[in-house]
Amino acid sequence: AAAAGVGNSVVLMGATTGRDGIGGASVLASAELGEGDEAKRPTVQVGDPFEESKLLECCLELLEKGLLVSLQDLGAAGLTSSAAEMASAGGVGLDLDVAAVPLREPDMEPFEIMVSESQERMLAVVEPDRVDEVRAVCDKWETGSAEIGVVTDTGMIKVSRDGEPVGEMPVEALVDGCPLYDLEPVEPEGWIYGNRATLAPGADPEQTLLALLAAPSIASKRWVFEQYDSIVGSRTVQRPEAADAAVLQLPEAGTAIAVAMDGNGRRVACDPHAGTVEAVLECAQNLACVGAEPLGLTNCLNFGNPEKPAPAWQLDRAVSGLAAACRELGVPVVGGNVSLYNEGPDGPIYPTPVVAMVGELPDPSLVAGSAFVRAGDAIGLVGPFEPSLAGSELAKQRGELDQGLPQPDVAAVAAACATVRDAVRAGRLASAHDVSDGGLAVALAESAIAAGLGAQVDLQPLRERGCTPEEALFGEGPGGFLVSGARAELEAIGAVHLGEVGGNAVEVAAGDRSLAAGLETLAEAWHSLGERLDG
């Protein structure tokens, strides 16, 4: 996205610019708002997925035809940051005329135009004799375009309105030369978040499982995704909640891409480094469950005030964990953003890095879902799964969260991902589902609910590894895959045999914590979030 070629034109493409989003992400990433700061609170960006789709298709055609010198999206701080980043990358300057920017609202001030975070906009550098061709492609896709500036050799961002200067600044001062925070990270001496028990004391295993299934972090998100069209464009291979990752076919290539997104602030709060590693690993596991190999990763880092010692330490450790996991998995980080200063009267939010990973799979017809498929299929466990109640959803519901998590073995989890991915691609598995929030009992219930088929399993193999019955049922940790299929196929990939699919209940033998719950009862708990949100 480097601006290049003195005299080349700067073209703004996409939606018109309005006051929506002024001071949005740029303010939220750099300031703490308290009582009496209502005037500082930014307006919310107004997104339009259809306009974004048109803009993306337009940009793809422009790139395919070789009509652009460079291209950059407009994100936090809008035109200011995008222009500065492009100029810095190319070692050039830019002269911009805000009067040429198509506006959604009248009487916008130059500074508003420069920092607006209106969505669905891209900035391009174009050779002057190709501007008309570029704008013709924009017209074809019914997306706006305007020539708003020129590349210079001054090393300055100069802003004018109708030829009248309104501001200028060295590019260096806006990018690499900007002042840095001098943070003082300090590990907190103990748990800094409240603990409130929500699970009834003495709850039996069935009651515990139902409470976990109803938890917002675990329950079905149908209430949310049904408000959107998940099959528009006819590329959807697996619908929401049918698999561990979204899968979209690429008809032109005969292949498909998979997308997974994960984040668990609860576990990151317990150990920022290990918790962030786990978030990356869970994304990789989700992709493996549909047969996809990771291509790249992006992230959003949501934290408290980094000018305070504890959130600064959390941020430092989380970024370290993100880097370590990505290096060991060989997955490049292609983008990301931050939302800092997220605090209230009771203190900061859980440190919550959200990770999104995209992968590729060669044959979309071989994608595995998370639901069991056939009665009589064997159920097995793959991977270096070592369940612990530390940082678990059960610990949260009992009001027992505290610092500390077991340290994940990234290499072992990566090897398990490869095993499952290869098995899915070979058509050896009927289903594959990663074990995450709520542990193995929740994973079993989710696969059973999705299929309308019960399961009978015995967790003795986990107990033989030293797990207590409760850890075997509800313990959490990376590296576990719940798979089903022909027993011989599961044995061939080293799966530990747990039981088989069938019946109308989930029955789990776990010593004195054994449980049995009917599918209807489980499904009612899992789907209860939508009813609660509807009031």
CATH number of residue 34's parent domain: 3.90.650.10
How many domains is the chain partitioned into structurally? 2
> What residue spans of 265-308 are helical by DSSP H?
265-270, 272-289
The pLDDT score that the predictor gives to residue 41 is 47
The pLDDT score that the predictor gives to residue 34 is 57
Q: Do 464 and 367 fall within a single domain?
A: yes
Q: Do 293 and 332 fall within a single domain?
A: yes
Q: Is 186 domain-assigned?
A: no
**506 phi, psi to nearest 5 deg:** -100, 115
Q: Is 411 domain-assigned?
A: yes
User: Please, which residues bridge with residue 492 across strands?
Assistant: none
The pLDDT score that the predictor gives to residue 24 is 59
Q: Do 321 and 450 fall within a single domain?
A: yes
Q: Do 142 and 41 fall within a single domain?
A: yes
Q: Do 425 and 277 fall within a single domain?
A: yes
Q: Do 13 and 141 fall within a single domain?
A: yes
148-159 burial by CB neighbour count: b if 16+ within 10 A, else e?
bbbbbebebbbb
The pLDDT score that the predictor gives to residue 35 is 54
Domain boundary at 135, 155, 174, which? 174
Which amino acid is it at 460?
Q
Q: Do 258 and 371 fall within a single domain?
A: yes
Q: Is 118 domain-assigned?
A: yes
Domain boundary at 174, 191, 225, which? 174
Q: Is 187 domain-assigned?
A: no
**Residue 100 CA, distance from chain mean position:** 36
Q: Residue 210's domain is classified under what CATH number?
A: 3.30.1330.10
For each of the chain's 535 residues, which pLDDT tens digit applies? 899 999 999 999 999 999 877 765 555 555 565 555 544 445 566 678 889 999 999 999 999 999 999 999 998 889 999 999 999 999 999 999 999 999 998 899 999 999 999 999 999 999 999 999 999 999 999 999 999 999 999 999 999 999 999 999 999 999 988 888 888 999 999 999 989 999 999 999 999 999 999 999 999 998 887 777 666 666 788 777 899 999 999 888 889 999 999 999 999 999 999 999 999 999 999 999 999 999 999 999 999 999 999 999 999 999 999 999 999 999 999 988 899 999 998 899 999 999 999 999 999 999 999 999 999 999 999 999 999 999 999 999 999 999 999 999 999 999 999 999 999 999 999 999 999 999 999 999 999 999 999 999 999 999 999 999 999 999 999 999 999 999 999 999 999 999 999 999 999 999 999 999 999 999 999 999 888 877 6
**103 phi, psi to nearest 5 deg:** -110, 145
pTM for the predicted model, two decimal places: 0.87
Q: In what order do the strands lie in the sheet with 505-509?
A: 431-434, 481-485, 378-382, 496-501, 455-458, 505-509, 515-518
Domain ranges, residue 394: 205-534
**Numbers of helices and strands, H then E, in the chain:** 19, 22
Q: Do 405 and 471 fall within a single domain?
A: yes
Residues 256 and 385: beta-carbon distance below 8 Å: no
The pLDDT score that the predictor gives to residue 316 is 97
DSSP secondary structure, 199-244, as one string? SPTT--HHHHHHHHHHSTTTS--HHHHTTS-SSTTS-EEE-TTSSS
Q: Do 23 and 90 fall within a single domain?
A: yes
The pLDDT score that the predictor gives to residue 181 is 83
Q: Is 305 domain-assigned?
A: yes
Q: Locate 236 and state its tokens.
A: 């959807």
Q: Do 320 and 224 fall within a single domain?
A: yes
The pLDDT score that the predictor gives to residue 45 is 63
For residue 286, CA distances in Å to 112, 267, 276, 307, 424 come to 41, 18, 16, 35, 12
Q: Is 188 domain-assigned?
A: no
Q: Is 192 domain-assigned?
A: no
Q: Do 218 and 360 fall within a single domain?
A: yes
Q: Is 32 domain-assigned?
A: yes
Domain boundary at 128, 154, 174, which? 174
Q: Do 328 and 395 fall within a single domain?
A: yes
